[in-house]
Amino acid sequence: MNQPELIERINRGDRSVFTEIVDQWQKMVYNTALSIVQVEEDAEDITQDVFIDVYEKLDKFRGDSQLSTWIYRITVNRCLDFEQKKKRQKNGGLLKQIFSVKAEDEPVNFNHPGVVLDNKEKAAALFKALKKLPESQRIAFTLHKIEGLPYQEIAEIMQTSLYAVESLMVRAKAGLKKLLEKYYQSQF
């Protein structure tokens, strides 16, 4: 279905278009969420929340950007909200802080659909390092390198400039290089 036809159907109040949207973008939303939050159950919950948002806000979609860009933006925002909420919960309570394991000490262990079995260990190291990057660098890197989006679309999703995305990518790569240096030295 092309975007003008989709927007026309949305403007007519045709809610059946929602099923087609879910069918077309469900995998993309789940994979993006999984790449960011790195826990399968959380990614599933976020995917459901994203499509609830899409359904509720469908009539507000104006068509200024691609529908996929709009859905990516909702997905990224949902993931960031989820991580902030999780961080607030994790930081609460003295006993919880004393007896809990820090999230960065926990190994990343999930099955991302884009990772080949032979590369699971390398992917786990990469995703663990990604978690340590600043939020904006992590999102830009994830959208470009894992989701395969061009810089211009990432700029639209992140609501920033193309130059800012390029800068974020340079800093993310440098940060990952530094974080992964020990891992790769231990492999040789």
Quick: pLDDT tens for 16-45: 888 888 999 999 999 999 999 989 999 999
The residues of the chain that CATH labels 1.10.1740.10 are 1-100
Coil vs helix vs strand at 168: helix
Chain region(s) in the chain for CATH 1.10.10.10:
106-188
Q: What percent of the chain has pLDDT over 70?
A: 82
Residue 184 banded pLDDT, cuts 50, 70, 90 = confident
Whether residue 115 has pLDDT greater than 80: no
What's the CATH fold of domain 1-100?
Answer: Rna Polymerase Sigma Factor; Chain: A (1.10.1740)
Q: What is the mean pLDDT of residues 137-145?
A: 94
What average pLDDT score do residues 113-122 get? Answer: 62
Contact 38, 45 (CB under 8 A): no
Q: What's residue 106's pLDDT?
A: 46
**pTM listed for this prediction:** 0.77
Banded model confidence at residue 100, pLDDT cuts 50, 70, 90:
very low
123 or 90: whose pLDDT is higher? 123
pLDDT of residue 18: 85
- Which amino acid makes up residue 166? E
pLDDT at residue 160 greater than cutoff 90: yes
CA dist., res. 80 & res. 76, Å (int)? 6
Confidence tier at 117 by pLDDT (50, 70, 90): low
Q: Please, which pLDDT band fits residue 111 given cuts at 50, 70 and 90?
A: low
The mean pLDDT of the chain is 83
Q: How far is the CA of 47 from the CAs of 7, 10, 37, 76, in angstroms?
A: 22, 21, 11, 11
Looking up tokens 């790449």 gives: 35
- Give 44-73 pLDDT, tens digit per residue: 999 999 999 998 888 788 778 888 999 999
φ/ψ of 134, rounded to 5, equals -60, 150
Q: Please state which CATH class domain 106-188 belongs to.
A: mainly alpha
Q: Which one, of 142, 171, 5, 173, lies nearest residue 75 by Cα?
A: 142
